[in-house]
Amino acid sequence: MDEKTRIKTIVMYCENVEDNINRFGNDIEDFLDDPAYQQSCSFCVTQIGENIKPIISELNGKCKEIQWKDIAGMRDVISHGYHNIDLDRIWIFMTEEIPILKEICKKILREL
């Protein structure tokens, strides 16, 4: 998969997270109380990280405002340390960082 396709995929999963928030609720308690909500969003976060990893050096060169390595690392925590997932951290990522990540990825796509 090329860089452009991976960035489009990241945008798609960011939009999926936003759709989940609209569907399940925009309150952290909604998220903490609903395993289906957690699983759906965790899958999206995992896929975002999965698509960042192969192009992390290119992304670092295009935008230093985003902590690409931290996002990729979140994927590892979800995938390999399922019992140690910090749901509060995932919520913050979903609600505060995903909108920024999506816009930056859209900007990168316009420049490609």
Query: What are the tens digits of pLDDT across the range 23-42?
Result: 999 999 999 999 999 999 99
Does this model's pTM top 0.95? no
pLDDT at position 75 is 87
For 71, half-sphere exposure in the C-beta direction (CA atoms, 13 angstrom radius) is: 28
Query: Contact, 71 vs 52, CB < 8 A?
Result: yes
pLDDT band at 48 (very low <50, low <70, confident <90, very high): very high
Where along the chain do its domains lie?
3-111
pLDDT, one tens digit per residue, over 79-90 is 887 667 889 999
The whole-number pLDDT of residue 62 equals: 81
Q: Which residue has the higher pLDDT, 81 or 44?
A: 44
For residue 60, give every residue at least 6 positions away whose Cβ sits within 8 Å of its Cβ, in sequence order, or none.
68
Q: Helix, strand or coil for residue 105? A: helix
Integer Cα distance of 51 and 68 in angstroms: 11
Instruction: Kindly list the catalytic residues.
Output: 75
